[in-house]
Structure 1
Amino acid sequence: MITDIILEVVLPIFVLIGIGILMQRAFQLDLYTLAKINFYYITPAAVFMSMYESEMSPKLLGTVTLFYVIYVTALYIIGRITAKRRKFSRGMRAAFTNSLILDNSGNYGLPINDLVFKGDPLAGSVQALIMSLQSLLTFTYGVISIQGAKTEGLYRHAIIGFLKMPVSYALILGLLLHALDVPLPVFVSQPLMYADQSLVAIALLTLGAQIIKYPLRLRRFDVYLSVALRLLAAPAIGILIVFTLGLEGIPAQALIIASGMPVGVNTSILAEEYQNEPDFAAQTVLLSTILNVITITGLISLAKLVA
């Protein structure tokens, strides 16, 4: 089973990331444009189609949302306690906590889900919902934690950032049209399907181009601590919550795998944007993505055995 997972899921993921790295080195790709294509077209289209074709019941949707709330809360508490014991500065506390709760559920998690479950609509819907909730968290808590609650204009920026997120609108519209059983005309559905089908390749090429920006340094203990909590403690918490909520089958497997994603690229983007521990954030993104080749292989195997 592990060999199959490596050959059919993990290796294709990292081959595409590797191609993105090579293309970035050779051509100096326009990362801003790539990110915009992903953020404003490819990912919203994939989320919309996942929700539109969703097999999630209202009960399951609520359960997945509850899972995410408990999961993020647990990681937040761990992050704050660890930061306090390590006597981090206020800025470092925010960066460290963000590295635990802001994972790469979008341009890494969605392709992983698609390859593991071979495009299963139910599994895709679960991951799309997790990614949408993660985007909401990024542009609310993620911004607030860095800027500080008393910064002038903070809440306005957070609200504006949230309102600019097309993923949220795609999620709601997809669920609404699914609930109303509204058929899509071909001139609408076909471009959305093309975007959905291109998600794996485009998202992972972009991720490879993004992470090569960050030089790998192996001297910061705090980076190792963050990565260990992100790749080991987070999935352990996810498994515990899945069993506590009584989830089984594909939803349980999808959530267990979703809990083992590496640190999100948005963590580094926010750190750079607000000049808050950008080196630490960049190192956690890069190292957790590299080491995830090991941990995600084990987690996929475990998910299929226990759920």
Structure 2
Amino acid sequence: MFFDLFLNVCAPIFFVVGLGWLLDRKFRLHLETLVKLNIYLLVPAFIFTRVLDTELGGQEALQIVGFTLATIALMFIGSTIAARVLKMHAQQRQALRLATMFYNCGNYGLPLVTLAFGHEGAAVQVYVLATMNVATFTIGLFLAQERGEKPGAHWRALNGMLRQPTLYALVAGVLAKSTGLRLQEVTWLWQPLDLLQAALVGFALLTLGVQMSQTRPAPFRAPLFAALGIRLILSPLLALGLTQIMGFPPAVAASLVLATGAPTAVNTALLAHEFGGDVSFATSSVYYTTLVSMLTTTVTLSLLKLWLAA
């Protein structure tokens, strides 16, 4: 089962990531443009269409939001304990918290869950993605600027969050669904949105490959091992227990747990850069967790499939 899942789920992901890496090495692609196409076009289209198509009710959506926030809180506690044990200085402690609390549920988590569990799993991730984006630029923003040295930087970052269309796409989708609007029948509107959302998975993975190509990681040290262990191993273990406490159905629980084992979110490195944090640690966490996740997500998925079968 392990090798079958690796070949059918994880290998396709890293194959496309590898293509992005190779294309960047050959042509030096403009990363900022790729990221903006993801954030401002493909992700909002995906969220809007999936909210309208999903059969998840309002109560289930609120549960998923609560689960995501609870996961972030548990990672904060875990990283704080690890930082004290390893006697990290303030900048490393800040970077470890950001690297473990916020995971890449967009470029990585969405394709992973979609390939593993289909569109039903992807529908669950819509609410995770929206919650994670908002939390990164509110909770993460507060943690990042706690010791920041650039005056007014937190206002610039907060304004940047308010300009992100992800939240507005979610709100628009929820309003349209709650009022009974059948936008799926408006062909001239729905077809372009459907084409854009279908492009998200492949384009997001290519963008991740370009990001990997343009990252210069630092050497491995104890804090990085802590980031990898907490983000890739401890996070899905705690998430599994949390899904049982909150009473999620097995299929929804499996999607949520698998995504919590995703690597560190790229936005955490951007926050560290903006607020004078440990940029080397932050970018290295993104780089190494992405590489190691090729193994850990395959193991996690194998165990989840066995759990579902049982």
- Is TM (by shorter chain) over 0.5? yes
Q: Take 1:23 and 1:252, find their aligned partners in 2: how far apart are those partners?
A: 36
The TM-score normalised by the length of structure 2 is 0.93
Q: Indicate whether 1:109 and 2:109 are aligned.
A: yes
Q: How much does 1:176 deviate?
A: 1.4
Q: Take 2:166 and 2:215, find their aligned partners in 1: how far apart are those partners?
A: 27
Question: Unaligned stretches of 5+ in structure 2?
Answer: none
User: How do 1:215-294 residues align onto structure 2 when only pairs under 5 Å count?
Assistant: 215-294=216-295
- Report if aligned partners of 1:136, 1:162 keep a CA contact under 8 Å in 2: yes
User: How do 1:1-307 residues align onto structure 2 when only pairs under 5 Å count?
Assistant: 1-120=1-120, 123-148=121-146, 152-153=151-152, 156-184=155-183, 185-307=186-308
Q: Take 1:219 and 1:231, find their aligned partners in 2: how far apart are those partners?
A: 16
More displaced stretch, 284-293 vs 81-90: 81-90
Aligned residue type for 1:194 = L
Q: How much does 1:33 deviate?
A: 0.5
Aligned residue type for 2:169 = A
Q: Take 2:222 and 2:154, find their aligned partners in 1: how far apart are those partners?
A: 33
Query: Which consecutive aligned stretches of 4+ in structure 1 deviate over 4 angstroms post-superposition?
Result: 149-152
In structure 1, the residue corresponding to 2:88 is in which secondary structure? coil
Q: Take 2:160 and 2:140, find their aligned partners in 1: how far apart are those partners?
A: 11
Q: Take 1:69 and 1:145, find their aligned partners in 2: how far apart are those partners?
A: 15
- Report if aligned partners of 2:228, 2:288 keep a CA contact under 8 Å in 1: yes
- Report if aligned partners of 1:268, 1:282 keep a CA contact under 8 Å in 2: yes
Q: How much does 1:137 deviate?
A: 1.1
Aligned residue type for 2:204 = A
Aligned residue type for 2:162 = L
Q: Once the two structures are superposed, what CA deviation does each residue of 1:233-264 show, in whole Å capped at 9, x if it has no partner?
A: 00111011011112223211111111111111
- Report if aligned partners of 1:51, 1:128 keep a CA contact under 8 Å in 2: yes
In structure 2, the residue corresponding to 1:218 is in which secondary structure? coil
Shift of the 8–150 alpha-carbon distance from structure 1 to 2, 3 Å rule, reads: closer
Question: Unaligned stretches of 5+ in structure 1?
Answer: none
In structure 2, the residue corresponding to 1:119 is in which secondary structure? helix
In structure 1, the residue corresponding to 2:199 is in which secondary structure? helix
More displaced stretch, 197-206 vs 49-58: 49-58
Q: How much does 1:161 deviate?
A: 2.6
Count of paired positions: 305
Q: Take 1:190 and 1:75, find their aligned partners in 2: how far apart are those partners?
A: 40
Q: Once the two structures are superposed, what CA deviation does each residue of 1:27-60 show, in whole Å capped at 9, x if it has no partner?
A: 0001010010001001111111111111111221
Q: How much does 1:156 deviate?
A: 3.2
Q: Take 1:297 and 1:130, find their aligned partners in 2: how far apart are those partners?
A: 21
The TM-score normalised by the length of structure 1 is 0.94
In structure 1, the residue corresponding to 2:166 is in which secondary structure? helix
Q: Work out the percentage of aligned pairs sharing the same amino acid.
A: 31
More displaced stretch, 5-14 vs 88-97: 88-97
Q: Take 2:220 and 2:77, find their aligned partners in 1: how far apart are those partners?
A: 26
- Report if aligned partners of 1:54, 1:178 keep a CA contact under 8 Å in 2: no
Shift of the 149–176 alpha-carbon distance from structure 1 to 2, 3 Å rule, reads: farther
Q: Take 1:303 and 1:148, find their aligned partners in 2: how far apart are those partners?
A: 38
In structure 1, the residue corresponding to 2:261 is in which secondary structure? coil
Q: Take 1:249 and 1:175, find their aligned partners in 2: how far apart are those partners?
A: 24
Q: Once the two structures are superposed, what CA deviation does each residue of 1:174-203 show, in whole Å capped at 9, x if it has no partner?
A: 111112221222121111111111111100
